[in-house]
Amino acid sequence: MKEFKGDAIAWEIVDGCIELVLDRPPCNEIGSITLQELERFTSALDSLETETHALIVYSRQPSGFCAGADLRELYYRSKEVGAEAAATGVRDFLERIHCVLNRIDASPLTTIAAVHGVTFGGGFELALVCDLIIADKMARFCFPELRLGLVPGFGGIPRLRRDLGNAIVRDLLLTGRSLNAAKANAVGLVSQVTAEGQALKVARLAASQVQKFDRTTSAAAKDFIKPIPYTELRREIELFCRLFSEPAVNAGLRKFVESTDALPYLP
C-alpha cells in the first residue's frame, strides 16, 4: 500500500521518501486505533522500502509530536475488564507496539523524526527509534511515567541508553523533567534544531541528502552503528508489567483521567 489515510496516521511517498504523519487530536496519544494503523504501516514497509531511501515521521497536531500512550483508554479499559484481564491486555499491547517500533528501528532506510512541541513518553520513544531527531526549537522531551508509578514501556530506557550517557538517562527518568530542544541537542539526543515550524522542511532536506548515497551502504552503516537492544527491551516489558499490577498505578491513572488539565501529569 503506497499511501494510506487512517483515523490516527497517514502515509505517502514524497520524492523517494516515506512520510508518516501522526494526526489524531489532541496530541497523537497512542491507543488501540493508532497501534492498529501502525501495524498496517509496518506490514506495508517491506514493499515501501523497495522504492524509497528515507522515512520521515512527523505530526500534524499543533500541540506537538506525540503525548505518549493513550492513558484515558488504558484507564477506562482496565476499569471495564478488571485487573487480571487488564494486565493481559497491557502485555499484549506492549508486545505489539514493540514489534512495530523494532521494525521501524531495523528499517534499512534512514529514518528521521521531525518533532515539535510535546514529545513525551511513548511519543519520545517513537522518536527514539528513528536514526535522526530534528527538532523545532519549541520541542520538549520528557518521560513522565514515574509520576504514574510506571517506567517507559515502549522501549524508551534501552533506546535512550543506546544513544546517551547513563547519567542523563537517569536524570530524565528519575526526575521526570522535560528537556527543551537546545538541551536535547547539547546532550546529543537531537541532531538539528530548527526555527519554529521548520522541522519538517529541514527533515525533508536531510532526506534528500540521504538519497545521494548508495542504499546498501547506508543500510550497512546503520546496521553497524545502531544495534537494537532486544534483551533490554524484553526486560523493560517485564518490568513495566510487574509495576502495572501495583496499586500506585491505578491511583496515578485515576488522578490523570479525572483531571481536566491539558497535561495532567505536568506541573
Partner 1 sequence: MQSLEQTVDEILNLASSHFKVSRSELSPTDDFFKTLKIDSLQALELLTRLENHFRIELPDYEVQGVSDFQTLGERIQARL
Q: How far apart are CA 42 and CA 38, in angstroms?
A: 6
Q: How far apart are CA 152 and CA 34, in angstroms?
A: 18
Reading phi first (left if > 0) and then psi (alpha if -120 to 50, else beta), residue 148 is in: alpha
Report, in Å, the least distance between residue 266 CB and partner 1: 5
Contact 189, 179 (CB under 8 A): yes
Q: How far apart are CA 91 and CA 17, in angstroms?
A: 33
Q: Cis ω on the peptide bond leading into residue 144 (within 30° of 0)? A: no
Nearer to partner 1, 155 or 252 (CB): 252
Nearer to partner 1, 147 or 222 (CB): 147
Report, in Å, the least distance between residue 139 CB and partner 1: 8
Confirm or reject binding of residue 261 to partner 1 (CB under 8 A): yes
Q: Which of 24, 53, 140, 159 binds partner 1 (CB under 8 A)?
A: 140
Confirm or reject binding of residue 198 to partner 1 (CB under 8 A): no
Contact 48, 101 (CB under 8 A): no
Q: Which of 137, 161, 226, 255 binds partner 1 (CB under 8 A)?
A: 137
Half-sphere exposure of 232 (CA within 13 A, CB side): 12
In three-state secondary structure terms, 30 is strand
Question: Which of 72, 79, 95, 57 is closest to 25 using CA atoms?
Answer: 72
Nearer to partner 1, 142 or 210 (CB): 142
Confirm or reject binding of residue 266 to partner 1 (CB under 8 A): yes
Q: What contacts 261, CB < 8 A, 6 or more positions away? A: none
Report, in Å, the least distance between residue 209 CB and partner 1: 27
Range in contact with partner 1 (rule: CB under 8 A) among 103-111, 148-156, 157-165, 171-179: 171-179
Tell me how far the alpha carbon of residue 46 is from its chain's centroid. Answer: 20
Q: Please give the residues from 7 up to 66 whose contact with partner 1 meets the rule CB under 8 A.
A: 63
- With contacts defined by CB under 8 A, how many residues of the chain interact with partner 1? 21
Q: Give CA torsion, residues 103, 106, 108, 110, to 10 deg.
A: 100
- Point out the residues that are catalytic: 145
Nearer to partner 1, 214 or 261 (CB): 261
Confirm or reject binding of residue 97 to partner 1 (CB under 8 A): no
Nearer to partner 1, 161 or 183 (CB): 183
All three cell numbers of 109, joined, read 532506510
Confirm or reject binding of residue 262 to partner 1 (CB under 8 A): yes
Confirm or reject binding of residue 118 to partner 1 (CB under 8 A): yes
Contact 96, 35 (CB under 8 A): yes
Q: Please give the residues from 172 up to 191 whose contact with partner 1 meets the rule CB under 8 A.
A: 175-180, 182-183
Report, in Å, the least distance between residue 61 CB and partner 1: 11
Task: Name the residues that contact partner 1, by CB under 8 A.
Answer: 63, 117-118, 137-138, 140, 142, 175-180, 182-183, 261-264, 266-267
